[in-house]
């Protein structure tokens, strides 16, 4: 449990740091950063390149990677995240990208932390709890109110919770690092179209 909580704290902080290049250089800075990450680190993981230059990369992965990814593709969820953010940065505006970044970081991270610490009641047969889901919704709503009205922040957080429940991190195309940012971006764009 401790490792998963530390992993999620790293997840929250590392993803939220992406707001900095967006604010400084615009949304395409994320496109470039994520392409560079894929171009540099995907081959290292895929071909399991281990040498003094890649040593730090493997040490970070030892800290944050889930056991089942070691058997397939170490760093796979980071690569899914890169794909999700590339798509959002190319298809949507800067504010929408920021909402996607915050939600991907905060909802997912806090839902897991609250679930590990307080989760007693499982949702159906999923590895999710009502307590974790509620914690993720509350934390994400609070975070999003920095840039959105409360009702929009809450609605987007609830949508993120449903997408998270339906996602499957063992299948790359259903990974929440792709499905959450894309769905949240579409929902926010639709809300803007309908109500603003």
> What total of structural domains would you count in the chain?
1
- Per the CB < 8 A criterion, the answer to whether 103 and 167 are in contact is no
Q: 173: alpha, beta or left, given left = phi > 0 and alpha = psi -120 to 50?
A: alpha
Residue 125 has what pLDDT?
Answer: 73
Tens digit of pLDDT for each residue in 117-153?
A: 999 999 987 789 999 999 999 999 999 999 999 999 9
| pLDDT for residue 183 is more than 90 | yes
| pLDDT for residue 70 is more than 90 | no
DSSP 24-58: HH-THHHHHHHHHHHHHHHHHHHTT--STTTHHHH
| pLDDT for residue 168 is more than 80 | no
Residue 18 has what pLDDT?
Answer: 98
State the pLDDT confidence band at 167, using cuts at 50, 70 and 90.
confident
- CA quadruple 157, 161, 162, 166: dihedral sign: positive
CA distance 72 to 92: 31
Strand intervals (E) in the chain: none
- Per the CB < 8 A criterion, the answer to whether 90 and 35 are in contact is no
Tokens matching residue 56: 């730090």
- Per the CB < 8 A criterion, the answer to whether 129 and 115 are in contact is yes
Residue 127 has what pLDDT?
Answer: 83
Percent of the chain with pLDDT over 90: 78
To the question of pTM greater than 0.85 for the whole model, the response is yes
Per the structure, the complete domain to which residue 190 belongs is given by 2-195
Q: Residue 129 — φ and ψ, nearest 5°?
A: -120, 155
Provide the 3-class DSSP secondary structure of residue 52: coil
CA distance 134 to 120: 12
Can you tell me which residue has the tokens 């259903």? 174
Tens digit of pLDDT for each residue in 17-40?
A: 999 999 999 999 999 999 999 999
């Amino acid at each position: 449990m401790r490792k998963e909580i530390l992993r999620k704290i790293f997840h929250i902080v590392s993803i939220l740091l992406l707001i900095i290049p967006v604010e400084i250089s615009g949304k395409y800075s994320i496109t470039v950063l994520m392409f560079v990450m894929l171009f540099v680190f995907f081959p290292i993981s895929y071909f399991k390149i281990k040498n003094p230059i890649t040593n730090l990369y493997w040490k970070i992965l030892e800290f944050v990677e889930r056991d089942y990814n070691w058997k397939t593709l170490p760093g796979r969820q980071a690569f899914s995240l890169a794909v999700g953010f590339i798509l959002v940065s190319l298809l949507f505006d800067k504010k929408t990208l920021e909402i996607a970044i915050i939600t991907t970081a905060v909802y997912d991270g806090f839902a897991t932390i609250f679930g590990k610490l307080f989760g007693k009641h499982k949702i159906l047969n999923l590895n999710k709890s009502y307590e974790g889901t509620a914690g993720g919704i509350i934390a994400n709503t609070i975070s999003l109110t920095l840039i959105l009205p409360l009702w929009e922040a809450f609605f987007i957080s609830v949508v993120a919770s449903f997408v998270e429940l339906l996602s499957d991190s063992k299948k790359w195309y259903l990974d929440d690092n792709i499905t959450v940012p894309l769905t949240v971006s579409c929902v926010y764009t639709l809300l803007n179209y309908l109500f603003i």
